[in-house]
Chain A
Amino acid sequence: MSKQYDVVVIGAGPGGYVAAIRAAQLGLKTAVVERQHLGGICLNWGCIPTKALLRSSEIHHLLHHLDEFGFSADNIKFDLKKIVERSRGVAKQLSGGIGHLMKKNKIDVIWGNASLKGKGSFEVDNEGKKEAYSAKHIILATGARARELPHLKANGKTIITYKEAMTPETMPKNLLVIGSGAIGIEFASFYQNMGAQVTVVEMQDRVMPVEDKEISAFAEKQFLKQGMKIVKSASVEKLEEGKGLVKATIDIKGKKEVQEFDRVILAIGIVGNTENIGLENTKIKTDRGHIVVNQWLETDEKGVYAIGDVVGAPWLAHKASHEAIICVEKLAGLNDVHPLNTSNIPGCTYCRPQVASVGLTEEKAKEAGYKIKVGRFPFIGNGKAIAMGEAEGLVKTVFDEKTGELLGAHMIGAEVTEMIQGFGVAKSLETTELDLMHTVFPHPTLSEMMHESVLDAYGKVIHM
């Protein structure tokens, strides 16, 4: 007889482990299947270790601007090995923490690769040792991986993806980053700040194309000021490996250019992990590499659900975690469960300067037919920003003129990733401009700019 559970979650990333904990909290007999490491990519090879690296590059940046703050130091050096070790240590600490959480919630951790067998049963293969299980509810949280294209394939040494990019043994001198989405631009920012010459190639006509145009333009200006090279409306056609060098053929609006780099990072999107999990034994449908689900994260196979990156954009850990809660509470029969409103999911990019946003961009709002009011407030008008020596940035807000709904908020500058939740709360509660105007923001904080931006949208800005 196979071992039976109420809920089994396949994949222990920020979607999977959260689903397991919530299910256990609700008194369901729960297990999680993981093939590699608790915490998934986010915790082990994504969000968290890169934040550790970016903290190092931020310190590097500050150390080279000590004079501004009245310090001096000679012979500033860094030890790349230690920086990477610290990053790995952070990931390890947190992964261990997930292990404790599983134990505390009496969740069985089954190691191996899971494959669905239909009708609530599945098999786990742990290095050839196979075991059968069954569960009333199976949640697929298998995540995603870096996309490669036929002409853009990683070799793990000179042409790499995120994993190698966050464990460098040596600093590249001349680095090419293909793709300027969140992942690409964070690595570009890290290496540029650590002293490498970085070139970013982006297919669209602006960096971070999902962000508001104004924010993209602001970011680009800052990157160029830091010495980064940015090639827009361009694609890399060919990568030729030479002796320690990679020759890249870049098509810039039809004009071909060959440039040499000592390292190339591929950040050209991600694809869902839908292979080898037995989808063929079920009625589950996929669409362009992602599992198709309804608003309750139910697949076409009864009793099988999917959450997180494997069901598609936005590929964000917090989206996965939130879907996990919705999925589990719904299957457990709880009342007062509500589908996820994707326009209320904030996105954060930890380059320097940081970028954070929630909701519609100005352009998208217009496309959707809204008549809008736009507010802006620059960091240069904020006391705290100037005191911090971080006077470059912008807070932009977009309102529906008719209803006063906050359609979107877009920020660039220091610590904006810690501020965006304020607008997230506002959007979730469906506040209007009035509620935001009536909110008292503390002084002196960067958050005052959020207030001022709202005031500006209605012609009431004070400090500008």
Chain B
Amino acid sequence: MPVNILMPALSPTMTEGKLAKWTVQEGDEVTSGDVIAEIETDKATMEVEAVDEGVIGKIMISEGTEGVAVNSVIAVLLEEGETANDIGEVSADAPAPAPKVEEKSEAKEAQASSTAPAVATPSPAPVAASGERVFASPLARRMADQNGLKLEQVTGTGPRGRIVKADIEKAVKEGVKAPAPATAKSGGSMPAGVDSRAQADALGQPYEFEAANGVRQVIANRLLESKQTVPHFYLTVDCELDALLKLRSQVNKDEEGYKVSVNDFIIRAVAKSLRDVPAANASWAGDGILNYTDVDVSVAVASENGLITPIVKKADEKSLTTISKEMKDLAGRAREGKLAPHEFQGGGFTISNLGMFGIKTFSAIINPPQSCILAVGAGEQRAVVKNGELAIATVMSVTLSVDHRSVDGAVGAEFLAAFKKYIEAPAKILA
């Protein structure tokens, strides 16, 4: 049967592109790997290679056509023994199969994204996995709830894999080990390449095994899913901190026996920036974007069990000291593992601050289904150029990781500009 050659998606956000040039003509024989066309987007030009062997039966889209929708048929490839008469069998609007072409890019960014799985198949919304029905007995559901376990983390051993009481008891006793079938489908947490345990065992490399607890398993599943399915890009900006530090020491002088931290200022600055640039406070929902109307800021806290992100809710409506006190309480309880689910589930934007460890800059992995995470580095004295002269300033570099499906580069940049404005003119933070 003739094979449809489809318009490839060169990046996850691409919906259409220009068919710049055909390098083959109808009737040409092609083999796998032959360049057959060039496609242009706003960002790059790339070559389209044939994947199958055959003869170009018909070119459906002529050279120079703009606005060609992704997955539309651009040409038909005839296999051995087939003639142009067979083409009729191919339905032009057949459901898009896996693209039959591979792209080779000259532009770096596009090349990187062409290897991402998101290009081959439309990526599911990261939350979709949890929407699948999990079979569990009423008793198991209640016990999971009482023990703060998510059913998705528990392996069922009852009839047809139903989660039963014994499974919850085991999970409580031994910690959650196996990834839930639902998350396994969307990537799972097993390393796809080298099995670390098998290799260490084979090489006799000594190690101590620590079974994953619930938090660790969630981190493994969620962040793997994030890095594999969310098209990240990164924006970095330097913020001068001197004014903020000065203000902070003033505030702390006024507040007897209570200290507001730089991080509290950052939370407040993020909250205000999200009010100014609400498009950064969003989630990709598969067929659209959720724009959150509350400004709920998640703050990454390291606990013994692993990373957890308590949420300062409606942070834009709270004063600096309220945020500070709330954060102190949340962080304290987060470290003790005493947060209620509603205190760490949700949020629209995350802050991850490793400044206290002296980290200069880093790129954080997006906390799905949120679109942005701000990685905050240390405030340090650096040489800066001001008005053409060298000067010393306390500078903090921050890097925003952004989900390009929902937030574009300009929006991210706009957000960072707002953030920088608040940090460098901190009186506005207090307002």
Beyond contacts A336-B159, A403-B143, A431-B138: 12 other A-B pairs, Cβ-Cβ < 8 A, are: A338-B157, A338-B158, A402-B146, A403-B146, A404-B142, A405-B139, A429-B138, A430-B140, A431-B137, A432-B142, A434-B138, A435-B138
- Chain B residues packing against A (C-beta within 8 Å): 137-140, 142-143, 146, 157-160, 164-165
- Contact assessment for A403 and B142 in the assembled complex, using a CB-CB cutoff below 8 Å: yes
Interface residue from A336, A338, A404 paired with B139 (Cβ < 8 Å) = A404
List 19 A–B pairs whose Cβ atoms lie within 8 Å, in order of A's numbering: A336-B159, A336-B160, A338-B157, A338-B158, A338-B159, A402-B146, A403-B142, A404-B139, A430-B137, A430-B138, A430-B140, A430-B164, A430-B165, A431-B137, A431-B138, A432-B138, A432-B142, A434-B138, A435-B138
How far is the CB of B113 from the nearest CB of chain A, in Å? 41
Nearest B residue to A404, CB-CB: B142
Contacts of B143 in A (CB 8 A): 403
Q: What CA separation (Å) do A429 and B142 show in the bound complex?
A: 13
Nearest B residue to A429, CB-CB: B137
User: From residue 426 to 443 of chain A, which have CB atoms closer than 8 A to chain B?
Assistant: 429-432, 434-435
Contacts of B158 in A (CB 8 A): 338
Contacts of A432 in B (CB 8 A): 138-139, 142
Contacts of A338 in B (CB 8 A): 157-159
Most buried by B among A402, A403, A405, A431: A403
The 8 closest A-B pairs by CB, nearest first: A430-B137, A430-B139, A432-B138, A405-B139, A435-B138, A431-B138, A432-B139, A403-B143
- Chain A residues packing against B (C-beta within 8 Å): 336, 338, 402-405, 429-432, 434-435
Contacts of B146 in A (CB 8 A): 402-403
Q: What CA separation (Å) do A431 and B164 show in the bound complex?
A: 10
Q: What CA separation (Å) do A262 and B102 show in the bound complex?
A: 97
How far is the CB of A404 from the nearest CB of chain B, in Å? 6
How far is the CB of A432 from the nearest CB of chain B, in Å? 5
Nearest A residue to B157, CB-CB: A338
Contacts of A435 in B (CB 8 A): 138
Q: What CA separation (Å) do A429 and B165 show in the bound complex?
A: 10
Q: What CA separation (Å) do A430 and B140 show in the bound complex?
A: 8
Most buried by B among A336, A430, A431, A434: A430
Q: What CA separation (Å) do A429 and B162 show in the bound complex?
A: 10
Contacts of B159 in A (CB 8 A): 336, 338
Q: What CA separation (Å) do A403 and B159 show in the bound complex?
A: 21
Nearest B residue to A435, CB-CB: B138
Nearest B residue to A427, CB-CB: B139
Contacts of A402 in B (CB 8 A): 146
Q: What CA separation (Å) do A430 and B141 show in the bound complex?
A: 10
Q: What CA separation (Å) do A434 and B141 show in the bound complex?
A: 12
Q: What CA separation (Å) do A163 and B288 show in the bound complex?
A: 77
Most buried by A among B138, B142, B159: B138
How far is the CB of B201 from the nearest CB of chain A, in Å? 28
Contacts of A431 in B (CB 8 A): 137-139
Nearest B residue to A432, CB-CB: B138
Q: What CA separation (Å) do A435 and B139 show in the bound complex?
A: 10
Contacts of A403 in B (CB 8 A): 139, 142-143, 146
Contacts of A404 in B (CB 8 A): 139, 142
How far is the CB of A365 from the nearest CB of chain B, in Å? 15
Q: What CA separation (Å) do A444 and B165 show in the bound complex?
A: 34
